[in-house]
Amino acid sequence: AQPAEVAAALIAAHGGARALLPWVMHRFAPARADGLAAGAGRPSRTTSFIALGLGAAILLLMAGPARAVVAAAAACLALILAPLARRRFGGITGDVLGAIEAIAQIAILLALVATR
- DSSP of 14-51: HHHHHTHHHHHHHHS-BSSTTSHHHHH----HHHHHHH
Q: Rounded to two decimals, what is the model's pTM?
A: 0.94
pLDDT of residue 97: 96
Residue 36: its pLDDT value, please? 85
Q: What is the model's pLDDT at position 104?
A: 98
> What is the per-residue pLDDT for 3?
96
| Tens-place pLDDT, residues 15-45 | 999 999 999 999 999 999 998 898 999 999 9
Mean pLDDT computed over every residue of the chain:
96
Q: Which of 25, 22, 30, 16 is nearest to 76 (CA)?
A: 16
Residue 6 reports pLDDT greater than 90: yes
Average pLDDT of span 80-100: 97
Q: How would residue 88 be classed by pLDDT, with cut points 50, 70 and 90?
A: very high
Q: What is the predicted pLDDT for the residue at 8? A: 97
Q: Are 103 and 73 in contact (CB under 8 A)?
A: no
Confidence of residue 1 (pLDDT cuts 50, 70, 90): confident
SS3 116: coil
